[in-house]
Amino acid sequence: MSNILDRILATKRQEVADRKANPRAWPQPTPPRGFKAALDARAAAGGYGLIAEIKKASPSKGLIRADFDPPAHARAYQAGGAACLSILTDRDYFQGHEDYLIAARAACDLPVLRKDFMIDPWQVEEARAIGADAILIIVAALDDGQMAEIEAAAFEQGMDVLVEVHDAQELDRALRLKSRMIGVNNRNLKTFEVDVQKTYELVARAPANCTFVAESGLISRGDLDAMAEHDIRCFLIGESLMRQQDVEAATRNMIG
């Protein structure tokens, strides 16, 4: 039986083919903002490096934020102390859009991750063209050759790469790449269950020179403090912040 990732990737292949056939023209983006450097600086200063996600909806939760306003959320996340943004651009499963990334990045100074399902280096060029400072490689979605090709395209554009893994085998494959920014997604893509134990298991296997990011299902300051006891200081958080009426205050309470 196919899981949600298989279904997303099937849709994405068709979407990318359509977009390559009918490319949009984009305005010239400003130069890349250092994404990994922004996270590392927070962690080095003894704080938490938060990648705050602008996420309208998801396959697991449906609609998360009805009054969705990417520029306002970007400003609130920056004022609340986030180091970086993650912005969903996938339309079919997350109700995202490239225009949300463009508008949110223009509204703040934070580096931005294009959160989408990369299957083709062409999408990396498009990501930079809309202003993204980093892209995501999901190890479960690609073979080693595809990952290396997409990573090389990103580095050529001066972007950072967050490499996302779910288990030890995927971590071993991730570490064959050059990027030293590794995210552990605690969400099981078959069941949608979130298990933060995954992060604890994998941080012990990751080399010390990695920027290590815990992703998904983080709800409270206590969750982050528990992870900090295992030397994990960077986090990708979406839903729990996006559900708050006062996003700025929620962000500050989470990491302040």
Nearer to ligand LARABZUK, 40 or 116 (CB): 116
Structure tokens at 199: 């992060």
CB of 21 to ligand LARABZUK, least distance (A): 26
Site string for ligand LARABZUK, 44-83 (x = CB under 6 A): ---------x-x--xxx-----------------------
| Interacting residue with ligand LARABZUK among 74, 215, 224, 248 (CB under 6 A) | 215
Per CB under 6 A, which of residues 130..149 are in contact with ligand LARABZUK? Answer: none
| Interacting residue with ligand LARABZUK among 227, 236, 247, 250 (CB under 6 A) | 236
Structure tokens at 173: 């494959």
Q: Is 44 helix (H, G, I), strand (E, B) or coil?
A: helix
Q: What are the residues whose beta carbons fall under 8 Å from the beta carbon of 159, sequence distance 6 or more?
A: 32, 35, 124, 127, 128, 132, 133, 134, 135
Active site residue 61: no
DSSP, res 205: T
The Cα–Cα gap between 50 and 38 comes to 10
Note whether 211 binds ligand LARABZUK by CB under 6 A: no
**DSSP strand E in 46-83: where?**
49-54, 57-58, 62-63
CA distances from 151 to 71, 148, 160, 235 (A): 28, 5, 9, 21
Which is the catalytic residue, given 12, 216, 239, 248?
216
CB of 95 to ligand LARABZUK, least distance (A): 12
Active site residue 215: yes
Instruction: Please report, as ranges, the residues that interact with ligand LARABZUK according to CB under 6 A.
Output: 4, 53, 55, 58-60, 185, 187, 189, 215-218, 236-240
